[in-house]
Structure 1
Amino acid sequence: MVLEQYCLVSAVGILCVIFGLYEKLVNSILDIFKNFKKNFTFLFPIVLGIGIGFLFFSNILNSYFVTYQIEFKSLFLGLILGGIPSLFKQANKEKKFKFSLLLYTFISFCFGLFLIFLEKNLDTSFFITENNFLFLFLCGFVMSCGIIIPGISSTVILMCFGIYYTYLESICTFNLNVLLPMGLGIIIGCITFLILIRFLFKNFYSKTFYSIIGFVFGSIFIIIPNSFSLFSILLFLLGLFISLKIEK
């Protein structure tokens, strides 16, 4: 169930890349105080949407997703596949295509598949009970990588640290002894990875974007439904149509 729930979060990050929002989002967050009005105007509706979406997902949509997994996955699959041409267009906007760039796509694609394999096969009963401040801070810091980079699962990162269920329980019980150091790690980690992503975009744009494309392709395997119905096919086509229209 963890994997299925994660696919929605993963899809949202991927769609930001597909719709051309990712790079602008990174720059707007890091430069929020340089041109506050412009960046705030751009970020506010996104943050508002995320906030409303989080509440919506946590209550209504999460339960619907369990019941209608095939339909939701089909819609997201259409949205993502329809945006693939846009990804390559964005990746090649600074330099012409070179076959060598596909190596970066292949490496990140394999890494994305490896993360999916881990998430499916990790022993979720494995957990660490002795958690000190530095360890929890480190968990939050590394977890932020999954928040910033599309296609990387924060869930599998926490599972590898053996703290996934500790984290979930802490949210439910509002355990500040866990949430504060992890939250601090997440904040500092997000800023660090945002700076890193911007540096990579600035100096290695094509290589970075082709790497992100690999993560996107890898994440598609999370979203592919186990079966299809006529309605799910229609939703897939709807997602495909919407994505292609937005691209134009």
Structure 2
Amino acid sequence: MHMNNKLKNNLTIILKGFIIGSSMSVPGVSGGTMAILLGIYDRLISSISNFLKDFKGNLLFLIKFCVGAAAGIGSLAFLIKWLLEKFPIPVSFFFLGAVIGGIPALYKKTKESSFKVSSVIYFLVGLVLVISIGFIPIGNFNISSGSGFVHYFMILVAGIIIALALVLPGISTSHMLLILGMYDSTLLAITNFDIAYIGVLGISTVIGIFLITKPIEWTLNNFPHQTYCMIIGFVLGSTSEIFKDKIIPALPVEANMSWWISSALISIVTFVLGYYAINSLSHFSND
């Protein structure tokens, strides 16, 4: 029985890592958002923040999670990208349903016993913050330009900013790369095997993750109600990017009534499927 529970727990961690990895290519669905919705976020933060306190246990957990995430990125991410290109509206509504489906589990974590005005304020702060990031003009910054020490120092700074996007729910890493003017140069560095660029960016991102997780864990432990109210705002705010980047551009200028009816019905079905898929998975929490 103990062996079966251990195997089930290991497979659950890998599966959640797989889902998080595969969904990171979806605009508006950040890794942090999916980790929150799947009930593994607290455990991830704790494992990184207290890495040396239980070195073996935390290392094994992170390895299992990373194996699943790498498999998701290397397999389903390409399928999701293809589906988003071919069927942007129903697929986008599936992910909208997935985001909304995780809200009940998040609400339970706020331990809200009665309505409070302060809860609404924290929620609105998170909502406005994430939506505002989505409206930062792309192309105003170009951190990856230049050469020499300054060039790599700016990449180091960018890595820490990217870590913030990776760890905080609702903030898209790909969008942050675009804002920093690093999206194309990062893809080019990967395809050209630019070890110096990738190495500095990778190391700085890891450093950033370790720096950020400690204060996040502290706020989760000391102010869980306020933090989760704000996280709900983060998560709901992230849906604006799905509308802005995928749903609205996919709407035809001219379409007959039958197209609108069929699209609406299919989108409702995919939304419901996404809702129940994440709502079901969120019950299997590792926290």
Please state if 1:146 is matched with 2:165. Answer: yes
1:240 counterpart (257, 275, 279): 275
How far off is 1:147 after superposition? 0.5
Deviations, residues 16-55 of structure 1 (Å, cap 9, x unaligned): 2123221122112333453456545644443222111110
Q: Does 1:177 align with 2:196?
A: yes
- Change in Cα spacing, 1:37 to 1:5, as seen in structure 2 (3 Å) is closer
User: What CA RMSD, in Å, does the superposition of the two structures yield over aligned residues?
Assistant: 2.7
- The answer (yes or no) to whether the contact 1:83–1:247 under 8 Å persists in 2 is yes
Q: Which residue of 2 aligns with 1:34?
A: 53
Residues 94 and 274 in structure 2, CA contact (< 8 A), matched pair in contact too: yes
Deviations 1:222-242 (A, max 9, x none): 234346443332121112223
Cα distance in structure 2, aligned partners of 1:236 and 1:160? 30
Q: Which amino acid counterpart does residue 168 of structure 2 have in structure 1?
A: I
Matches of 1:206 and 1:229, distance apart in 2: 36
Whether the 8 Å contact between 1:82 and 1:240 is mirrored in structure 2 is yes
CA radius of gyration, larger in: 2
CA contact (8 A) 1:74 1:232 kept: yes
Calculate percent identity across the aligned residue pairs.
Answer: 26
**CA offsets per residue over residues 154-194 of structure 1, 9 Å max, x none?**
23333333322211211121112211211111010011111
* In the alignment, structure 1 residue 111 sits paired with structure 2 residue 129: yes
Q: Does the residue aligned with 1:7 lie in a helix, a strand or coil?
A: coil
Closer, same or farther in 2 for the Cα pair 1:205/1:169, shift >3 Å?
Answer: same
Q: Give 1:101 shift.
A: 2.5
The letter for the 2-side match of 1:238 is L
Partner residue in 1 for 2:34? 15
Residue correspondences, number: 241
Please say if residues 115 and 153 of structure 1, whose CA atoms lie closer than 8 Å, have aligned partners that are also in contact.
no
Structure-to-structure mapping, 1:30-109, within 5 angstroms: 30-36=49-55, 38-39=57-58, 42-92=61-111, 98-109=116-127
Whether the 8 Å CA contact 2:159–2:205 is kept in 1: the answer is yes
Residues 124 and 159 in structure 1, CA contact (< 8 A), matched pair in contact too: no
Deviation at 1:58, TM superposition (A): 4.9
Contact 1:75 1:232 in 2 (8 A): yes
Instruction: Report if the CA contact (8 A) 2:100-2:236 is conserved.
Output: no
Residue pair 1:127, 1:164 contacting (<8 A) in 2 also? no
Deviation per residue, 1:67-93 (Å, 9 max, x gap): 122222121111221221221111127
Q: For the residues of structure 2 that align with 1:122 and 1:84, how far apart are their CA atoms?
A: 30
